[in-house]
Structure formats: structure tokens, C-alpha cells
Amino acid sequence: MTIHSTSQKQADDSSSIFNSSYLPGLDGLRAVAILTVIVYHFGFGQVPGDLGVELFFVLSGFLITRQLLREFRQSGAVDLGRFHHRRLLRIFPAYYVYLAFAFIEECARGYCWTPGLLASGIGHVVNYYNAFNGHPNTVIAHAWALSLQEQFYILWPLALIVLVRRGGRWVIAGLTAGIFVVVLWRCALIGTIGIVPAYLYNALDTRFDSLALGCVLAALTEFPEAAVRVQALSKWPLMPVGTLAILLMSRLYGSDSYHYSIGFTVDTFLLTLFVMQIVLQHGHWMWTWLDHPVSRYVGKVSYSLYLWHLIGFGVANRMTQFQPVLQLVVALLVGMGLASASYWLIERPFLKIREKNQ
């Protein structure tokens, strides 16, 4: 077999995996992401919980862009109305049920929300509420990530339509330029009077790169020559371990100025590489646990679990006689119960409506 034919076979193998309707390992990665966030929020500060959120961003950018590019490839157009209708059915019902519950429960306990907090929750701008108010510790503070993604869903499809009509390389070039501009913007903001880390952490204009790198991965899989390089970076099953080691060094040992300037981009790039490696190595015994039924189920309910896990914390924290580890177990059990109820009673019925309208 010639070198050219070997490279072509590698490209075909990678393309066939990334173009399949179901990508193994992704539900397991969602489970890893949400558990990382939960453990961090519970008080284990040594765990870099923001990496769990960034992993969600990478997966979101990758899957949304993959879906939009596939639609354009098949029909030569992108139906924005259909896209936003699908996102609305996926995100809004569970979110607004949680928002209503949290508002009523907090008011009942005497913690009535300010008009600004309520408006930010309803309007999906919690990220900017956090950005301009020092990321206050509220029961919907974690919704900043959902708000940022909703803002991204509004802007990115519009930009993608313009770029993809010129060709796939324009998509990659546009995303790369956007990432570069965001990094420069963050660097410029560091040290600016009135700009605090909360803004750098929460705002769409400072975190667009965290979603854009997932979009780049989706765009790269459209090119056979890129698929060969993808295969080379995912050749051995231990490669994802090496990527995680570099990622943890970047996250744990970088200074604040590094973290808020280029660190977000470096970390997200490494997470994007990790996702790519897992997709291509999912069948190896080292990574099959990501496709275990338990991992897949936690990943399936991860959106609802992200919404409801703080309520689980509230229940566990009132059980002061428990040790921290036992409190965490209680929080997880309560959170999983609420998330499962949300998934099967709220998410699934609306997802079925979405599937009928495909």
C-alpha cells in the first residue's frame, strides 16, 4: 500500500466516523463535564470546574456547526427558522420551569430577587448580569453559560451562512480571525479600569473563542487533508491522557493574567483536541467507559442536571450532621432525581415534538 493510499484510508476512516449520525463517547464526555462542575460547585476548589463548562462549550460549538454544515451540504441553504425552533424546544421548557421554581422557592425563603436578576434570567442575559455585578452567588448564577450559548446560537448561524457560501475554508478563516480578535480583546481589557475578572469570564465578547474552537473542529472534518492530521493526533489511545496532562498544567499552574488573556483559548484548544481524540479512540478499552450505560445516562440528563444541581446542594447543606463527602452524595442523588424528572417530564415531550417536525 502506498503512502498516498494509506493517507487516503486514514482520511476516509476519520471522515466516516465524524460524519456518522451518532458520535460515540460524547454522552460520556457530557457526564464528565457536568460532574466536574458539580464537584467544583460543592466546594472542592482544587477541581477546575470551569473546564467542565468549557467542555460543554466545545461540544455545543462542534455539534451545532456540524448540524448546520450538514444541512447546507444537503440542501444548499440553512433554515434559520427551523434551527431556532429546534433550539427553543430543546432549551427553553426545562430552563423556564427551573427558573420559575427557583424564583418561587427563594421568595418563599425570604430571598426575593432584584428586578435586574429576574430580568436577566428571563431574557437569557445572566452572563452580562454576572459580568457587571461581580458574578454574585445567586441560584441562577450558573445560567451564565446557558445565556452565553443562546447568544451564540443567535449570532453564529448568521455568520456561518455568509461564510459557507464562499466555501468551507472561509468558515475556518472567519472563526480563526474571530478567535484571534477575542484573545486580543481580552488582553486589552486586562487591567482596564472598571473591568474585573467577572466580565472576562462571563461575557460573550470575551468567551466566543470557547465555542468557536468547537466550530473549527466541525469545519475541519469537512476536509480530507485535515482528517489525515486529525488521525495523526489521535493515533494512540494514550494521547488523550497526554492532552489532559497538558490541560491541567495550563489550568492549575498558569497565572491569573495568563488565564484571563490566552489561557481560556489554550485550555479550550486542548479540550477540542481531547474531544477529537476521544471520538476516534472511543472503541479502545481505555475509553469504553464513556459509552457505559451509566455514563451515557448522566450525559443524556446533563442539561437538566446542570440546571438543578444547586437545588440538590441546598438540600444537602441543610443536613449539617453529614460529613462533606456524604453531603456530596446526597446532593448528587437529589440532583439526579430532579434532573431525571426534568428530562422525562419536560425535556423528552418537547424533544419528541422537535423530532416530529424534522
The 10s digit of each residue's pLDDT in 311-353 is: 988 888 777 666 777 888 888 899 999 999 999 999 999 988 8
pLDDT of residue 282: 83
Q: Which residues, in sequence order, are CB contacts of 334 under 8 Å at separation 6+? A: 311, 312, 315, 316
The 10s digit of each residue's pLDDT in 232-273 is: 888 899 999 999 999 999 998 989 899 999 999 999 999 999
Q: Which residues, in sequence order, are CB contacts of 302 under 8 Å at separation 6+? A: 30, 31, 33, 34, 56, 339
Interatomic CA distance for residues 130 and 122, integer angstroms: 14
Does the structure show a pLDDT above 50 at 24?
A: yes
Q: Give the number of other CB atoms < 10 A from CB of residue 77.
A: 11
Of residues 20 and 242, which shows the higher confidence score?
A: 242
Domain boundaries, the chain: 45-283
Does the structure show a pLDDT above 50 at 3?
A: no
User: Which range is least confidently modeled, 111-115, 191-195, 272-276?
Assistant: 191-195
The 10s digit of each residue's pLDDT in 68-94 is: 999 999 999 999 999 999 999 999 999
Reported confidence tier of residue 226, pLDDT bands at 50, 70, 90: confident
